[in-house]
């Protein structure tokens, strides 16, 4: 048996995962679980892209929020056992994250290029000191 939270192998009588500390369900196994005694395949590892979404949020806030939402959806679907849905949500979230990062970086770069011109228009001679 494997932990439903982190995928770590578990002893048969475990109440908590020794790896992540998650409380294990008591009683009947979850739907779709093989009968006890049969070896269960560990869940696939899926990177939900949360850290990338956070960077995207910091640089391109409006688009980064969408990336954060998809990362949370991916994590939720992974925990519920919908691995294909989690993989799809993670992939979509990473696309939004990269879009937020690129647009945010372009905005910062445009600000550095345009800021001296704007200051010179508003207060001529201020930057010449």
- How many helices and strands in the chain, by DSSP H and E? 3, 0
Quick one: pLDDT band at residue 32, thresholds 50, 70, 90?
very low
pTM for this predicted structure: 0.52
Give pLDDT, residue 28.
41
Average pLDDT in the 101-114 region? 85
Q: pLDDT tens digits, residue range 36-67?
A: 555 667 777 777 777 777 777 777 777 788 88
Average pLDDT in the 5-24 region? 77
Residue 55 and residue 68: Cα distance in Å, rounded?
A: 10
């Amino acid at each position: 048996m494997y932990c439903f939270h982190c995928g770590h192998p578990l002893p048969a009588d475990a109440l908590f995962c020794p790896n992540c500390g998650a409380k294990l369900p008591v009683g009947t196994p979850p739907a779709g679980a093989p009968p006890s005694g049969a070896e269960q395949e560990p869940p696939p590892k899926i990177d939900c892209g949360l850290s990338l979404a956070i960077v995207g949020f910091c640089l391109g806030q409006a688009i980064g929020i969408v990336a954060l939402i998809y990362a949370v959806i991916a994590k939720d679907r992974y925990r519920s056992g919908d691995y294909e849905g989690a993989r799809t949500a993670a992939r979509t979230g990473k696309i939004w994250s990269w879009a937020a990062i690129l647009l945010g970086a372009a905005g910062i770069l445009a600000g550095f290029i345009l800021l001296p011109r704007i200051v010179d228009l508003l207060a001529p001679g201020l930057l010449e000191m």
